[in-house]
Copies of this chain bind each other. A is one copy, B any other.
Amino acid sequence: MSRPLTLHPDVFFSSNTFERDIARRLYRKVSHLPIISPHGHTDPRWFAQNKPFANPSELLIQPDHYIYRMLYSQGISLDALGIPKNKQSGKMADPEQVWKIFAENFHLFRGTPSYYWLNYVFVNTFGIDIKLNGKTAEHYYQIINDKLTTDAFLPRALFEKYNIEVLATTECPTDNLQYHQQIKDSGWSGKVITAFRPDAVIDAEHESFLHKLNRLSEISGLDCLHYPDYIEALSQRRTFFKKMGATSTDHGHPTANTADISDTQANRLFNRLTHGTVQADDAELFRSHMLFKMAEMSIDDGLVMQIHPGCYRNHNKHVFNCFGRDKGADLPNATHYTTGLKPLLDKYGNDPRLNLILFTLDETNYSRELGPLAGHYPCLKLGPPWWFHDSPEGMSRFRRATTEVAGFYNTVGFNDDTRAFLSIPARHDLSRRMDCAYLAELVAKHQIDEYEALQLATDLSYNLIKSSYKL
Say yes or no: B376 contacts A329, CB within 8 Å. yes
Say yes or no: B108 contacts A368, CB within 8 Å. no
A400 at the interface (CB under 8 A from B): yes
- Bound: A346/B175 CA distance, A: 33
- Which bracket fits the contact residues of A? 35 or more
A229 at the interface (CB under 8 A from B): no
Say yes or no: B376 contacts A448, CB within 8 Å. no
Closest to A105 in B: B409
Closest to A337 in B: B331
Say yes or no: B394 contacts A404, CB within 8 Å. yes
Say yes or no: B407 contacts A108, CB within 8 Å. yes
Mask of A128-164 contacts with B, CB within 8 angstroms, 1/0: 0000000000000000000000000000000000000
Residues on B with C-beta less than 8 A from A338 are 312, 315, 331-333
Provide 23 A-B residue pairs closer than 8 Å at the C-beta atoms, listed in order of the A residue: A16-B16, A69-B375, A73-B374, A73-B376, A74-B409, A75-B352, A75-B378, A107-B409, A107-B455, A110-B448, A111-B442, A112-B405, A312-B338, A315-B345, A316-B345, A317-B346, A332-B368, A332-B372, A334-B364, A363-B367, A367-B388, A372-B388, A393-B400
Given A15-B444, A73-B410, 6 other A-B residues pairs in contact with their CB atoms under 8 A: A73-B406, A112-B407, A113-B404, A334-B334, A367-B389, A372-B388
Chain A residues within 8 Å of B, Cβ to Cβ: 3, 8, 10-16, 18-19, 69-70, 72-75, 107-113, 115-116, 312, 315-319, 328-329, 331-334, 336, 338-339, 342, 345-346, 349-350, 352, 361-364, 367-369, 371-378, 380, 388-389, 391-394, 400-401, 403-410, 441-442, 444-449, 451-452, 455-456
